[in-house]
Amino acid sequence: MARDNSPKERQKKQLERKLGRRASYDRILIVSEGSKTEPIYFSEIRAAYRLHTANVEVRPSELGTAPIQVVQYAKDLFENGDRHKYIQPRAFEQVYAVFDRDDHNSYFNALRLAESLDRKLKNDAKQFIRFKAIASVPSFELWLLLHYEDILAPIHRNEVMLRLKRHIPGYEKGAGRAFAITREHLNIATERAEALAAKFTADTAPEPYTAIVGLVTLLTTLRG
């Protein structure tokens, strides 16, 4: 009998191989506002620490870039999966929605929606999952800038970019290699971000804040 080599059958086998490579740690879904910068950054961490792609999925929001849309897409992707991306429904223990404060009107609503979903959704193992907003005030680039400077007062996203380019000439959103370039300063960035988190929260905007530090710490301490 001839082997079934249809696209559907190949997709099924790819999914089975992917699931078979799962590591022992939690399955993590990261959905970002940005279509390039954040996905590339977290994918670089995943590669650098050899994290299983079956356990750590990194996807940009496909509903839009408004914070509320990022959270909604993360919820939808968790609940329904996406067979074209080999993502099964409810196949995670932790879900993170990554977005910036910027000037988004839905920012605070997105924070509240994420809070309402935390420990309320069950995965395929019937466990309540962690669902967290990973917000940055004013932007993701604040996290990168903290690798080089201590920021203690409110700062506009344009100023963040200006200062960051002094440390990383030619830096542009989505250019890639941000983790590789900044990695040697990761410890000091972590200290600075944690110090900010001790004084401010995502709700105290425009005070500088980034929850990226917690997600990076999680990813860099996972063990397969």
Q: Higher confidence at residue 53 or residue 208?
A: 208
CA distance 53 to 97: 18
| Confidence check: pLDDT of 57 > 90 | yes
> What pLDDT, on the 0 to 100 scale, is given for residue 2?
47
> What pLDDT, on the 0 to 100 scale, is given for residue 19?
46
CA distance 80 to 142: 33
Q: pLDDT tier at 36 (50, 70, 90 boundaries)? A: very high
Which domains are present in the chain?
Answer: 25-220 (3.40.50)
Cβ atoms within 10 Å of 127's Cβ, excluding its own: 13
> What pLDDT, on the 0 to 100 scale, is given for residue 9?
64
CA distance 10 to 222: 30
> What pLDDT, on the 0 to 100 scale, is given for residue 54?
84
Contacts of 112 (CB under 8 A, 6+ apart): none
Name the nearest CA neighbour of 55 among 82, 19, 96, 11: 19
Please name the helix (run of DSSP H) or strand (run of DSSP E) that holds residue 32, with its range, or none: strand 28-32
pLDDT tens digits, one per residue of 120-159? 999 999 999 999 999 999 999 999 999 999 999 999 999 9
pLDDT tens digits, one per residue of 70-122? 999 999 999 999 999 999 999 999 999 999 999 999 999 999 999 999 999 99
CA distances from 109 to 32, 71, 139, 145, 188 (A): 16, 10, 17, 27, 32
